[in-house]
Structure 1
């Protein structure tokens, strides 16, 4: 069974809005065993929308659209779909009652534009939107169906989960689909591929599909198995995992698609240990990654953004002579920052990070991208120098994740 995703809105094409809807819809369909053939974005121009709908409907069993169902003048999708499917708008009491309920809950008064949202195409299946005023719509033509969803992300997600996926699973017999993600960190993609040559043969012999997905947060190895039972898939995934542990034990960080902050958090939580951070060049980004995790207060004591040298010396206890002799970006300062965070915030582990994020501030001896990272325990301090590059945003992300990975490895050594 094949499907396509069509996201509608000029704002998506000009970079004003990031198209997260297409990614979510594609992921939901893929996990259900649907083959997503393409994802297309078009402008708000009527001809562009209709041309895309016609082409995609001819090639796919299902087309899911997002956008253009709102109450304003630029929301033209519903009228265009009436034209394409040769139908007309009729008033839906059920949809209007839902709109009344939503406005009543918000203590707001309905306007005429909101009443018009209760006009739905005759013959279409209406999917209730419990979070907004624009319902989802399902059309059928020549054995293919089109499902129109609102563009507001949280409304679209609710409709995909509660309305679209049950409908698709009921209407089509979907193949067995199983996916496993392994998180690898601290090794370039090309070097990883060389070390995993025998592993790739193992996957190929078992008809598994492999994708390398690199990012500043590490490399995701996505393995897909099709048309086999869950029991058989679990056995194979365990075999693949065992092989990875032999081939890249120091780089295999997780067997599920989670960020490094969650990986470290689970380790600290399991061992009833705590962490504190002292950040300079990352400006609190490590603490941001950690506090984005619900429940992280159990294992995260807190952090200090020690951007100026006097904060490093006065609060964290960094020796001013070391700053004068070695510079703020140095092994000595990073190690003392890590120890200071651990002591002042009374934690089991401390991370210290200092560097030159860029684009300015570099020297021939310490170019932009130079970062010192340290991890402290009550017994020792380890540290490492990195030179990441000249992009400030990327340097902050890479340095933060690298610091968490250093902590991960240290926790493993202390097992």
Structure 2
């Protein structure tokens, strides 16, 4: 008697979690996935390629080890990988399979096809279409390293980082933000730096130190003025003070003020630093929401990427005046291969645009020339630059306006 054993014997007997389906080709192998997310079921093929992503994020947060990444050719799933099977936060290769003319692989990849990727967020039971930082055509036998696969998911909550109930995962405000004012007596500022040298008075009592370059932002604009001060506290003890340095002479924040502070401790690491900000114009001191951990010889932030303290405009009663020297539109953003930039000028002037990378180096310059008042636009096509974030600074020699762009190849 001949007994036929189904290749689905193991798969059919699996008890998969809710929203998962059995692997139709599971045979009990140690390297095989027993179950797939229901929309990520696929069959093996003799024609294989791999896309190795160095990072996979949802709303700028790394996906968890329980989440999955899958490739699709049209509506057909052609490969999937659980992120944790590659070490969780390490680079992970996603198999992308081709049409080998078998019955199971109809509609799979052919040379030159570009796959679409999706992420399965296990905690939310949600499938999200993702965007690759590079669009790489598929071919059998390939292994291609790609910087990032990113996606967005609408999550409601408090989106203001200065609020007490700030939700870092939320990207849609639901109006639930609550603000916990911790304003303190402004007279204490007189004890921060009694000799007015911009350094902690008793710094020589401490063994270790580190530095932090920072600034205060309202509506993405720096508000620090020359007479403001910043103080650092550890367990209620003053550990650092700073007056603003001279206006920044270069980079995306040219002409603005920042704090460059030395912070001191007798422990090499592990202490939490909190900050107070003296706003000289209103003669008020505010406890800042952001904090960081001290470690010896730390260097946090710089003039191109400062440690940012975010203020809601209503705390300082900052009235936002309509800007008549600004960039009103950057579209699309992120962009590839070019971006349209629209700007406004009130008074006739020579307008120059400098483009900076995240290290503060100028990577391109456009001298738009003399313009009368009005609205103007141009197209930027950074063909020779790598993918990444860039700053654009618009200037007429007196006024400055800055914004951020993301270039994706």
- Sort the TM-score into its range (normalised by shorter chain): under 0.3
TM-score (norm 1): 0.27
User: Greater strand percent: which structure?
Assistant: 2
TM-score (norm 2): 0.27
User: Greater helix percent: which structure?
Assistant: 1
